[in-house]
Structure 1
Amino acid sequence: MQGLVLEWKRKDKDRAWIAHVAYIDDRYPDPKLIVQWLEAKSLRPVPWIDPNH
């Protein structure tokens, strides 16, 4: 799912990066806004599409 990274920080224990992410979970009839902390290794960038083409 596509989402928006709101904030980055390091985990205390192993110093790995985590991201505070917001996204819409639309797998259900009533979509929900989800905001949660996720490990950076579970994220990937959304492919960029040039809006001028």
Structure 2
Amino acid sequence: MPSKKPFALRLNEDMMKAVEKWAADEFRSTNGQIEYLIHEALKKAGRLPKKKD
């Protein structure tokens, strides 16, 4: 599994509350929800790195 790189993310309060609620609705942590959303956006855009075999 690739290592994770920490970074700060600034969101306005309303957006953060919406992400937190969405995460709770899907039984994920807020961080897990943000990772999921970014992953799905990268996949949809065809920008995920190729997997090494």
Return the structure number with greater helix share.
Answer: 2
TM-score past 0.5 threshold:
no
What TM-score, normalized by structure 2, do the two folds share?
0.24
- Structure number with greater Rg is 1
Q: Which has the higher contact order (CA 8 A, sep 6+)?
A: 1
Of Structure 1 and Structure 2, the greater strand share is in 1
